[in-house]
Amino acid sequence: MAYNFSNYHAFIANVDRRAEALEELHKTHMKCKKGCDLCCMNYQIFPVEYFAIEQALKVKAAETMESTNGSCVFLKNHYCQIYESRPFICRTHGLPLLFMNDEQWELSVCELNFTEFDDEEFSEENTLLQDKFNSELFLLNKQFIADNKLNFSEFDLLEMKDLHRD
């Protein structure tokens, strides 16, 4: 079945714009580089992301690996095999993330990147507001499920490791 991913791709473009702006803002602290895979785990993702990756795999065959110790099936020799099609969560790797947890604001920061940064200096302006993007993704996934009459609830998540192909 051919799905329409235009809303999802617009969302991803928006995420990338914000991520690039934050990378530029924090460039003196960001140590992320090719070959660093500490963030690459077997994530659970919404169906819209799962099927978008599945479709991308039909266009550009990517080798998948067995998930060992919870690693991502797309990680090979420390490199992402689907970098252009990676899901939302992977596009936030390494950035300072601000989100609500148990009614309290929480900050998630890569310890390799922000070694000399005072936590007090983080604000809404220089962090990625993860709840905002998560809410947008939740809603567009809900619409995707409805539009395509898929047998999922809006809360269902799929495992990236199930995209593994022998």
Q: What's the CA angle centered on 71, arms 144 and 17, to 5 degrees?
A: 50
**Residue 101 and residue 160: Cα distance in Å, rounded?**
24
What one-letter code names the amino acid at 22? L
Give the nearer residue to ligand SF4 in terms of CB position, either 66 or 119: 66
Give the nearer residue to ligand SF4 in terms of CB position, either 59 or 103: 59
Nearest distance, CB of residue 73 and ligand SF4, angstroms: 7
Nearest distance, CB of residue 14 and ligand SF4, angstroms: 18
Give the nearer residue to ligand SF4 in terms of CB position, either 27 or 34: 34
Nearest distance, CB of residue 80 and ligand SF4, angstroms: 3
Nearest distance, CB of residue 134 and ligand SF4, angstroms: 16
Contact assessment for residue 96 and residue 122, using Cβ atoms and an 8 Å cutoff: yes
Contacts of 94 (CB under 8 A, 6+ apart): 30, 31, 32, 39, 110, 112, 113
Give the nearer residue to ligand SF4 in terms of CB position, either 39 or 117: 39
Residues near ligand SF4 (CB under 6 A): 40, 72, 74-75, 80, 82, 86, 90
**Residue 46 and residue 157: Cα distance in Å, rounded?**
5
